Amino acid sequence: EDQVTQSPEALRLQEGESSSLNCSYTVSGLRGLFWYRQDPGKGPEFLFTLYSAGEEKEKERLKATLTKKESFLHITAPKPEDSATYLCAVNYGGSQGNLIFGKGTKLSVKP
Amino acid sequence: DAGVTQSPTHLIKTRGQQVTLRCSPKSGHDTVSWYQQALGQGPQFIFQYYEEEERQRGNFPDRFSGHQFPNYSSELNVNALLLGDSALYLCASSLGQGPYNEQFFGPGTRLTVL
């Protein structure tokens, strides 16, 4: 069973059409949930870290939230340059210092 | 401020060969982790180095080995390459090996095994 599940696998939006990406996790003892953005053929770019339920963080058009079982990445009025794969990863008691990643959501924003 | 750098960018090898990938961590970071990312998948943890020792290891065979140097840079070695080893290999660095520390990734090395 996957410990980190991201949905949807792919999302197509029109420019300006807001939406949310979901990351659900089944691990216990969460120590941190991380969001990354990855462009094709490149390494993941760090976006946010969330540590406790109720926490929220914002950066430009992106806002990340965390509950006890899932995290959402809200994208407000997206632009074509927001097109990328968004990866969610968790660090928990059993993983020690390493990250457990989901498979990602591929976002396409059309002008 | 230099970020995480990796070399080479691309590499083509044949089955049975050996390969060495290199990583220089972000300035001020002392911990290096290696991940393997297959096409369409999220990165999978290989191992982590701190103070020149392997501290944690994921579910990868002994064909995968590594090293960390006194300047914190690191190498990933893969022996007896298999077709299934074709992937993007990512290096990530952090300050310390604790679970709360944010990991910053390099651009990756694309390995193709023919």
Q: How far apart are CA B108 and CA A55, in angstroms?
A: 31
- Comparing CA positions, the residue from A79, A101, A105, A80 lying closest to residue A10 is A105
CA distance A19 to A13: 8
Higher per-residue pLDDT: A14 or B97: A14
B3 touches A: beta carbon within 8 Å: no
- Which of A38, A39, A42, A98 to mutate to test binding with chain B, by most B CBs within 10 Å of its CB? A98
> Low-confidence residues of chain A, pLDDT below 50?
none
**What is the pLDDT confidence band of residue B97, given thresholds at 50, 70 and 90?**
confident
What is the rounded CA–CA span in Å between residue B55 and residue A22? 32
Give tens-digit pLDDT for B11-51.
999 999 999 999 999 999 999 999 999 999 999 999 999 99
Place of tokens 């995290």: A71
B88 interaction partners in chain A (CB closer than 8 Å):
41
Q: What is the mean pLDDT of residues B94-113?
A: 89
Bridging pattern class, strands B31-37 and B10-13: unpaired
- Residue A73 parent element (H or E): strand A70-75
Please give the structure tokens belonging to residue A110. Answer: 């059309």
- Distance, in Å, from the CA atom of A11 to the CA atom of A4, rounded to the nearest integer, reads 18
Evaluate if residue B65 carries a pLDDT over 80: yes
Lowest mean pLDDT across A74-78, B72-76, B95-99: B95-99
Strand duo B53-57 + A84-92: pairing:
unpaired
